[in-house]
Structure 1
Amino acid sequence: MDIPTSWTTEPHAAYLDWQATEAAGADRRRFSQRSIIQHKAMFDRFLRHLSQRPTTLAAFGAEHLESFFADVDNRCAPGTTTRLRYLKLIDRLCRHLVAVGVRQSNPAAAFAVIAAWPDDEPVPLFLDPAADIALQAHVQPDAGDDARATRNRAVVALFLGAGITAAELRATRGGEFLLDTVRPHLRVPKHGPRLERIVALPAFCTPALAAWNQHRPASAEALLFPAPRTADKPTNDVLLGAIVRGALDAIGFAAPDMSPRVLRNTFARRHLLAGRTNEEVSRFLGLTSQRTAVRLRATLPVGV
């Protein structure tokens, strides 16, 4: 099969082949395996968007990019570089498609001209220790909780106590966390570029998880947080975001980002305040890079 045909008939395979053999960044250096995994996930999302319009890699235009970037903006916290990273990926992809004869033009070029990386990265958002303690108190079970409230407390408790991402929580199964041991813990399987790890669960989050256990199937293979009316599908990101925002509203926290990312940052910063090293905190987060830990350490009080 020739290259142009592969992009139109098997775009996923064509993209992986290109990433593995030719694709490079602005400095002409080949991408790392971690970057390739991230790029593949981003490409898959863009391809799904095109298929829903419907159009193809060979035919999409500026109007499809506008709708795609609008969707990205709606789903991402303000101040992040997510849109710009997608734009760079699509611009690079389109230039390649033009070069191999799949396209006649690059509709991303006009978007790329007016885009620029921010001079400084935004300061990461997190709960200060007082707000952290307030949220820890909020997730404790209440005698009047119904199944929905019990689930919501458990979701927030796990985000705050384990520092996992929304994707990792959605994929968590019952057999991956143990509460009835001397050291309660969660096993987080490898997910994309994030490494497998064991996260110790702090005492504040185990009551909420134990209460939720009474409402879910006992099977080790069952999802810990299935969709409300579909037991074999995970809770979606929109619902998880609403659950976290509701909890943050309840303790009076307000910020441009009210997503699970705030709780992950809080988890990491709590460990930095406790004296953990950047390397240790990065490992707790499943990251090979210390960039997140370094950025959070810069927010600590002088002398800590």
Structure 2
Amino acid sequence: MDQLWLDNPRAAYADWQEREAEGVDGRHFSARSRTQHQAMFEKFLRYLSEANRDLANYEDEHVVAFCEAVGARSDATKMRYLKLLDRVGRQLVNVDVRAFNPAAEQLRLCHWPEEDQPLFLPQDKDALLQAYTQPGSADGLREIRSRAVVALYLGTGITLSEGIAAEVGDLQLHSVQPFLSVKPKGARGARTVLVAQFARPALDAWLLRRAEKGTEGPVLLTLHTSGEPINAASVGRIVKSALQAIEFEAADMSPRILRNTVCRRMLLAGIAIEEVSQCLGLVSVRTADRIAATINRV
């Protein structure tokens, strides 16, 4: 028996996560996920202590009561804790701390809550929208701006607010691999996002027109030559118009579709869910998991 799970369960869990713990895809969890899981596990330990139990003698009813408590406002939260307890329970059986896994039956009976399916562009529509962003010889200022706006979001997967906050100096199009430096905001830290090659011509054309018009100020996407930042409503209208131009219709025609499309494109390219989540600045893998499910159903 691995006595450390009883003598120092926090250290045992941390060591197990570092060396062995895997998700459903067979990959080790990211450092960010391990930190979150450690905090969740320690919350369970506090619950056991209050119930005068330890990892060797808790039962099914303790799993149920704990998951109900932490998931009181969210079935999805309850499910995440239940999956963690199932992983822990299986490990406790493996190291002879327990004879059975109390979370196994509860996990079998529980399901993710019903959610609206994430909207994204099918691959053929994604290709059409990428083609839409390419500059035309007769483009005026409005067309150049619109193509650049769509190219920025479809080529990076950044959020609506991140695109609005982006500055000219954040965008580096002439490196070996173009990239955008994204500023920290809320739970999202600063990160570097690669810019897809198809997006470069539209963004280059926009920067050139800015220079020709003498646009002032650091903001990348502007409404006028005065340098006034573009706003969310204008981005929404531009994206909706572009989607209509490729004959795509959905209940939601917002920039979120472009972000989901980038996520799905990366998953289709074989990039791991956790890496995709990190690239998009997601605080958990839940969004990428939901979009990955749309690929698995095909």
TM score, norm. by length of structure 2: 0.59
Give me the whole-angstrom Cα distance separating, in 2, the residues matched to 1:273 and 1:301.
Answer: 10
> Is the CA contact 2:267–2:292 (under 8 Å) kept in the aligned structure 1?
yes
The one-character-per-residue Cα deviations of 1:37-76 (angstroms, maximum 9, x if unpaired) are xxxxxxxxxxxxxxxxxxxxxxxxxxxxxxxxxxxxxxxx
1:174 aligns with 2:168: yes
Equivalence for 2:291: 296
1:223 aligns with 2:215: no
Corresponding residue SS for 1:239: helix
Instruction: State the one-letter code of the partner of 2:219.
Output: L
> Is the CA contact 2:216–2:225 (under 8 Å) kept in the aligned structure 1?
no
Give me the whole-angstrom Cα distance separating, in 1, the residues matched to 2:269 and 2:147.
Answer: 25
Superposition pairs of residues 217-256 of structure 1, within 5 angstroms: 217=211, 222-228=218-224, 230-231=226-227, 233-256=228-251
Give me the whole-angstrom Cα distance separating, in 2, the residues matched to 1:176 and 1:244.
Answer: 22
Give me the whole-angstrom Cα distance separating, in 2, the residues matched to 1:246 and 1:193.
Answer: 31
1:264 aligns with 2:267: no
Corresponding residue SS for 2:209: coil
> Is the CA contact 2:119–2:257 (under 8 Å) kept in the aligned structure 1?
yes
Instruction: State the one-letter code of the partner of 1:213.
Output: L
Give me the whole-angstrom Cα distance separating, in 2, the residues matched to 1:258 and 1:302.
Answer: 23
The one-character-per-residue Cα deviations of 1:103-131 (angstroms, maximum 9, x if unpaired) are xxxxxxxxxxxxxxx95110000001110
Percent identity between the two aligned chains: 45
Corresponding residue SS for 2:180: strand
Give me the whole-angstrom Cα distance separating, in 2, the residues matched to 1:154 and 1:227.
Answer: 12
Give me the whole-angstrom Cα distance separating, in 1, the residues matched to 2:260 and 2:239.
Answer: 14
Equivalence for 1:141: 135
Equivalence for 1:158: 152
Corresponding residue SS for 1:300: helix
Instruction: State the one-letter code of the partner of 2:164.
Output: R
Structure 1 residue 290, shift from structure 2 partner: 0.6
Number of positions where the alignment pairs a residue of Structure 1 with one of Structure 2: 188
1:285 aligns with 2:253: no
Corresponding residue SS for 2:181: strand
Give ranges in structure 1 of 5+ residues lacking alignment: 1-28, 30-83, 86-117
Give ranges in structure 2 of 5+ residues lacking alignment: 1-42, 44-72, 75-111
Instruction: State the one-letter code of the partner of 1:200.
Output: L
Give me the whole-angstrom Cα distance separating, in 2, the residues matched to 1:213 and 1:260.
Answer: 21
1:120 aligns with 2:114: yes
> Is the CA contact 1:165–1:264 (under 8 Å) kept in the aligned structure 2?
yes
Equivalence for 2:182: 188
Give me the whole-angstrom Cα distance separating, in 2, the residues matched to 1:236 and 1:122.
Answer: 27
Which protein shows a greater Rg? Answer: 2
Structure 1 residue 195, shift from structure 2 partner: 2.0
Structure 1 residue 219, shift from structure 2 partner: 8.8
Moved over 4 A (4+): 217-221
Give me the whole-angstrom Cα distance separating, in 2, the residues matched to 1:289 and 1:216.
Answer: 37
Corresponding residue SS for 1:216: helix
> Is the CA contact 2:210–2:225 (under 8 Å) kept in the aligned structure 1?
no
Equivalence for 2:28: none
Structure 1 residue 288, shift from structure 2 partner: 2.2
Superposition pairs of residues 13-92 of structure 1, within 5 angstroms: none
User: 145-154 or 195-204: which moved more?
Assistant: 195-204
